[in-house]
Amino acid sequence: MARSSCAELGSENTKRCLHDTEGLPAGRLAGYAWYQRLMEKVMADAAPETVSAARCFGGTQYTFQHFSQTTDTTMRFAAFVPSQTAAGPVPVVWFLAGLTCTEENFTVKAGAQRVAAELGLMLIAPDTSPRGDGVPDDPDGAYDFGLGAGFYLDATEPPWARNYRMESYLMRELPAFVARALPADMKRQGIMGHSMGGHGALTLSLRHPGRFASVSAFAPIASPMNCPWGQKALGGYLGPSRAAWRGHDACALIEDGARLPALLVDQGTADGFLATQLKPELLESACAKAGIPLIMRRQMGYDHSYFFIATFVEDHLRWHARVFSP
């Protein structure tokens, strides 16, 4: 049985999870919000457990786990800490992975540590969804929804809303852990991602202006409102309202006024998902209309795999590092 410490309030007959606030009167809702903030602080003060640590290019590659008050599950994340931290905190680049992935895929396949060590960048790779006993999954066992497919948003529909709160986890709880446990300069953060994670990098940076100084993506899902993966995820997690969907679609967010200072995107021309799921031309059009500087590089013959990411990850890390340089 997975650990569950989701706090409850009320009498024995009216207990409910803090995430379940539907129908509460205003006074009770305020009490729940206050107590949830308190519990988040308590959980943030708990140290993450070190699952593994290995020397790598003069730094250390870690995997950590901790109990998340936000998702009500145990969560893992990987962190590469370069040797430059001996002199002080270093900039942080977040990598959000794609469908079916965990924190491990980027860590072991992308080969990013060598360049990160040279540039003095910390790399943080979170998991792609909550996991554990009792966490709901796609009822048909499909790979594109549920476990490994959190889409970097906060679900509002049952039964997903209790655990699938990846946006809050990534924007609030996990950064608090990183800032406290690691020598990270949280004033200099960048974000990048692949496929579903590219979607996450784009939407989180657009939804949280000023958080990330630099943004890049590998083969991102440019407009989930307009592809089968995205329509399934947005409909399942957020319900049928396309107005709610717009808040988690990069192209729609840009159309509605959100902005990025600049954006680097690599897309393989031999990607089997290019025409049906990724649709980079929609992102090109949205950025052009909004005046967002976009470098869209179509890489001839490259597919959707980590071989593609490993080939161009150095360019992306140097892109982020240039923004962080004084």
Q: Catalytic residue positions?
A: 195, 271, 304
| In the chain, beta strands by DSSP E | 8-9, 16-17, 49-56, 59-68, 73-81, 90-96, 122-126, 184-194, 214-218, 263-268, 294-299
- For residue 318, give the amino acid letter: R
Sign of CA dihedral 243, 248, 252, 255: positive
Tokens representing residue 325 in the block? 């340089």
- For residue 112, give the amino acid letter: A
Vertex 210: Cα angle to 295 and 219 (nearest 5): 35
Tokens representing residue 281 in the block? 């031309």
Buried residues in 144-177 as b, exposed as e (16+ CB within 10 A): bbbbbbbbbbbbeeeebbbbbbbbbbbbebbbeb
Helix (H, G, I), strand (E, B) or coil at 16: strand
